[in-house]
Amino acid sequence: MIRVLLVDDQHLIRAGLRMLCDAQPDIEVVGEADNGREAISLAARLIPDVVVMDLRMPGVDGITATSRILADRPATRVLVLTTFGDDDHLYPALTAGACGFLLKDAPPADLLDGVRRAAAGDSPFSQEVLQRLVQRAMHARAETPQPAQGLTAREQDVLNLVAEGLSNTEIADRLHIGVTTVKTHITSLMTKTNSPNRVRLALFARSA
pLDDT digits over 153-172, tens only?
A: 899 899 888 887 788 888 99
Query: Where along the chain do its domains lie?
Result: 2-141, 153-206
For 59, the 3-state DSSP assignment is coil
Closest by CA to 159, choosing from 185, 129, 138, is 185
Residue 127: the pLDDT is 77
Residue 168: the pLDDT is 87
Closest by CA to 8, choosing from 70, 64, 80, 75, is 80
Residue 16: the pLDDT is 95
pTM of the model: 0.68
Question: Residue 163, class by beta-carbon neighbours within 10 Å (0-12 exposed, 13-18 middle, 19+ buried)?
Answer: middle
Alpha-carbon distances, residue 133 vs 94, 106, 137 (angstroms): 11, 18, 6
- Written out in words, the top-level CATH class of the domain with range 153-206 is mainly alpha
Q: What is the mean pLDDT of the chain?
A: 87
pLDDT digits (tens, 9 = 90+) for 37-50: 999 999 999 999 99
**Is pLDDT of 78 > 60?**
yes
For residues 61 and 36, the answer to whether their CB atoms sit within 8 Å is yes
What is the CATH T-level fold of the domain 2-141, as seen in this structure? Rossmann fold (3.40.50)
Determine the number of helices (DSSP H) and then strands (DSSP E) in the chain: 10, 5
Domain 2-141 identical in fold to domain 153-206: no
pLDDT digits (tens, 9 = 90+) for 95-152: 899 999 999 988 999 999 999 999 998 888 887 777 766 666 555 554 444 555 678 8
